[in-house]
Amino acid sequence: MATANSKSTPASTEPKGNQVFLFDKGNYTWMIGGVALILIGLALMSGGKSPDPHQFNYDEIYSFRRITLAPILMMIGFAMEVYAIMKKPSSGNQ
């Protein structure tokens, strides 16, 4: 039987000052860069609205910027995100 005065032990025995994080500053920098490229790619794909809804502007919809440049930037951004997640944090933080 447990007494009423018994104290429960904390789940972790490490002091709070020695927390180990999964990612370091370099990982977060790569993640922010990847998100920025993805957002730039989405912005480059936007637009193309015609003033007349009955007129289709082929050159504006299928331009180099929307069909080639924006998807390439987004794919590079997603690759940067994968790299940021897979990259091991530097061990010099200890």
Model confidence pLDDT, tens digit, residues 12-34: 555 566 777 788 999 999 999 99
**48-71, pLDDT tens digit by residue?**
777 888 888 888 889 999 999 999
What is the distance between the alpha carbons of residues 10 and 1, in angstroms, rounded to a whole number? 20
Output the pTM of the full model: 0.71
Distances (CA, A) of 32 to 24, 59, 60, 83: 13, 33, 30, 12
What is the distance between the alpha carbons of residues 35 and 6, in angstroms, rounded to a whole number? 50
